[in-house]
Amino acid sequence: MSVTQDRVDQLLGGVPRSLREIVTPEGVALHVELAEHGERAAAFAIDLAIWLGVAFFSWLVVFAFVVETRAIGIVVTLVLFIGFFVRNLYFIYFELAWQGSTPGKRINRLRVIDRAGGPLTPGAVIARNLTREVEVFLPLGIVLTAGAGGLADAVLGLWLLLLAAMPLFNRDRMRGGDFIAGTIVIALPKRLLLADLAEQSARYVFTNAQLAAYGAFELQVLEELLRKPRNYETTQALDGVCDRICKKIGWTGAVPKARAVEFLTEFYTAERAYLEREQLYGRARADKNATPG
Amino acid sequence: MSLSEASGRLVAEEEPRPVVTLRSSEFRRGREQGWRDLEALVAKAEQRGIGALGVGELQRLPQLYRAALSSLSVARSIALDRNLLQYLDNLSLRAFLMVYGPRQSLAEGARDFVARGFPAAVRAARIEILLAFLAILAGTLAGFLLTIGDEAWLTALIPDSMASGRGVHSTRQELLDDEIFAPWPGFARSFVVFANFLFQHNTIIGIMTFGLGIAAGAPTILLLAYQGLVFGAFIGLHYDRGLTLDFLGWVSMHGVTEFGAIILCGAGGLVVARSILFPGRFSRVENLAANGQMAARLAVGAVAMFFIAGILEGGLRQLVANTDARLSISALTMILWGCYFCFAGRGARR
């Protein structure tokens, strides 16, 4: 998997996302965005809350039922029993039924996927969730019951905490269960298809020499700028960009401020037509510093 | 477009405007409807589950998905429209996850697991199972020898929670009456024994044995050996009072299944440890992914075995108050498990 970050996002100060590539069985590489630590923690907190809620409710029912028959010994046992069952079945059930997401993950738009791009198998789901018992609940239990323990307990606790903090120490943010199951957790936002910026006809005509000033990167930065909702700030930015482009390509005519957006849209169209044509002829150009071909 | 002028020009208002044709725009116009259809299908399935799609929609989904993938490939080579590329990437990924998502429900998965997956995983992990068995055996021998040498070891080896009153002071008669041939305590009490031991102790130990395999296997071996030590110490206690056979009969009712489960958990942990320690031709991470699922199958099967052992322990054991009968039942469980692991699911390979 290649480690990349989107250059355009980086330049424009978007949320920097770590991108990874998976290859589908059809042989097409798809980009996936790794989930952030915070998102995963939030998803887990929601799941934990749901687990506690369900378990607590079942405990109440059991308690009401058993208090009638006055067998307190059984209550304690049942409480542990139900807690254990709900906890383990909850994650496995949802990740199987909801294609790799649980309620918490769904709210945060996260998914568990196979790292290599294969199907997510039930075995993988079970493996990554069984390990959770050791990775999360065991350290949690030890930390919660700690206190009177000696040095050995402290060392054990520290060691288990390190195990729980594993996603912080590897670049794919995998926890132990992800390693064992061969999975990663990704963020899956919904992207919308916006209208094509390219115009059908043009008032401004540019020469090939002018269009050769830029590459695909600059084109896409321009596209992002043009797609931003217009307000004072973006209009200022567009005016600045317009001046810079005019200077760079040696545009002799003046472009009035009111026409800046129109000019830029047409320049975008012409530039894209030019670069796409060049790319088709095998002379793709990544950015203005790259030599074509 | 005019190439004659060096600096570009503004077309005058009365002149006809030059028409710009972008191949990527043409391409988009031709295919956009298919993408929109796919997006609607995927959104519906994401919202309400894949079951919400009708038969016709289910048939269209893979077709539209392949079309979107091919669009993406084409777009990557001819288009520089960033929004379009990102949209197609995202749409293909969402459809991909829908098309290649887990296909088995929990019930189907469980059936397949019992019939095929679990015994196959056990057969595949022969060496690790042998190692885990040896670790327990070594622990048992050590515990036994230490205890018959000096019974003070009992207090050191057996935690209070497990001793439940048994110890150096126990007499032969006490052990016979309160432990080996104690009356069946009734349904409620046996349930507490069952659930407590199953979920407070055995399963946690089992899962720990498995999960700690990720720490290169040393904790796994230690935990296994420790289980053996405790067991060996108990044998020693009964050996000193001439109850070896009665104790073995009493303990093996569930012990065969329980130790089988612990060994499987340990073997799972060792499979994980092997992938980390001896990666061979592939990277450690790839190895873990390849073997981890098999290891997890062992652990899940072992949890099921703990369940059965718990039922045998809490329910059946005290009802059969005869050492010969107990030993035969143990032998029977051993044979049944052996047959299951050796022969189940051999024919049905996927």
For residue A54, give how far its alpha carbon lies from the nearest alpha carbon of chain B (Å): 19
What are the angstrom distances between the C-alpha of B172 and each of A24, B163, B183?
67, 15, 17
Inter-chain contact A269–B36, Cβ cutoff 8 Å? no
Q: Where residue A186 falls among pLDDT bands split at 50, 70, 90?
A: very high
B66 chain-A contacts, CB cut-off 8 A: 26
For residue B27, give how far its alpha carbon lies from the nearest alpha carbon of chain A (Å): 12
Summarised one tens digit per residue, pLDDT across range A58-80 is 778 777 776 666 666 666 666 76
Region A173-188: mean pLDDT is: 87
* A71 → closest Cβ in B92, B188, B200: B188
For residue B180, give how far its alpha carbon lies from the nearest alpha carbon of chain A (Å): 23
B292 chain-A contacts, CB cut-off 8 A: 127, 179-182
Distance of CA A85 to the CA centre of its chain: 31
Q: What is the pLDDT of residue B60?
A: 92
Longest dimension (CA), chain B: 117
Closest-CA residue of A relative to B15 is A203
Interface probe, candidates A88, A130, A135, chain B, greatest B C-beta count within 10 A: A130
Region A34-62: mean pLDDT is: 87
Burial (0-12, 13-18, 19+ Cβ within 10 Å), B112: middle
Q: How many residues does chain B have?
A: 350
* B82 → closest Cβ in A8, A99, A202: A8
* A81 → closest Cβ in B69, B189, B199: B199
CA contacts within 13 A on the Cβ side of A67:
6
Inter-chain contact A123–B293, Cβ cutoff 8 Å? yes
* A134 → closest Cβ in B92, B207, B293: B207
Interface probe, candidates B74, B93, B194, chain A, greatest A C-beta count within 10 A: B93
CA contacts within 13 A on the Cβ side of A19:
16
A165 chain-B contacts, CB cut-off 8 A: none
Closest-CA residue of A relative to B288 is A180
Residues 6+ away with beta carbon under 8 Å from A110: A35, A39, A40, A43, A101, A185, A186, A187, A188
A78 chain-B contacts, CB cut-off 8 A: 195
Closest-CA residue of B relative to A71 is B188
Q: Where are the alpha helices (DSSP H) in chain A?
A: 7-11, 37-69, 72-97, 103-107, 122-132, 138-145, 151-164, 176-181, 208-211, 216-227, 232-249, 260-280
Question: What ipTM was reported for this prediction?
Answer: 0.84
For residue A127, give how far its alpha carbon lies from the nearest alpha carbon of chain B (Å): 5
* A119 → closest Cβ in B102, B113, B295: B102
Q: What is the pLDDT of residue B92?
A: 94
Inter-chain contact B24–A124, Cβ cutoff 8 Å? no
Q: What is the pLDDT of residue B138?
A: 95
For residue B245, give how far its alpha carbon lies from the nearest alpha carbon of chain A (Å): 32
Segments in chain B below pLDDT 70: 1-7, 13, 161-165, 184-200, 348-350
Inter-chain contact A223–B81, Cβ cutoff 8 Å? yes
Q: What is the pLDDT of residue B23?
A: 84
Q: What is the mean pLDDT of chain A?
A: 81
Inter-chain contact B102–A25, Cβ cutoff 8 Å? no
- Alpha-carbon distance of B49 to B47, in angstroms, equals 6
Contact B262, B136 (CB under 8 A): yes
For residue A232, give how far its alpha carbon lies from the nearest alpha carbon of chain B (Å): 23
Residue A230 has a CB neighbour count (10 Å cut-off) of 10
Distance of CA B259 to the CA centre of its chain: 18
Q: Select the more confidently predicted residue: A27 or A69.
A: A27
What are the angstrom distances between the C-alpha of B238 and each of A86, A280, B137?
39, 85, 18
Interface probe, candidates A7, A69, A131, chain B, greatest B C-beta count within 10 A: A131
Interaxial angle between packed helices A72-97 and A37-69, expressed in degrees from 0 to 180 and rounded to the nearest 10: 140
Residue A111 has pLDDT above 70, yes or no: yes
Q: Where are the alpha helices (DSSP H) in chain B?
A: 23-48, 55-78, 82-99, 106-112, 118-124, 126-149, 152-157, 160-163, 172-174, 187-195, 203-211, 218-240, 244-277, 284-311, 323-343
Inter-chain contact A205–B28, Cβ cutoff 8 Å? no
B35 chain-A contacts, CB cut-off 8 A: 193
- Alpha-carbon distance of B247 to B230, in angstroms, equals 14
Give the bridge partners for A20, in sequence order.
A32
A91 chain-B contacts, CB cut-off 8 A: none
Query: Angle A16-A19-A20 (CA atoms, 0-180°, nearest 5)?
Result: 165
Q: What is the pLDDT of residue B272?
A: 87
First to last CA, chain A: 26
A269 chain-B contacts, CB cut-off 8 A: 20, 22
For residue B133, give how far its alpha carbon lies from the nearest alpha carbon of chain A (Å): 22
Q: Which helix (H) or strand (E) holds A21?
A: strand A19-23
Residue A5 has pLDDT above 60, yes or no: no
Taking the domains of chain A in order of start, what are their residue ranges? 7-187, 208-280
- Alpha-carbon distance of B62 to B92, in angstroms, equals 11
Summarised one tens digit per residue, pLDDT across range A257-275 is 788 888 888 888 888 888 8
The pair of structure tokens assigned to A214 is 């830029």
Q: What is the pLDDT of residue A289?
A: 82
For residue A224, give how far its alpha carbon lies from the nearest alpha carbon of chain B (Å): 8
Q: What is the pLDDT of residue A206?
A: 85
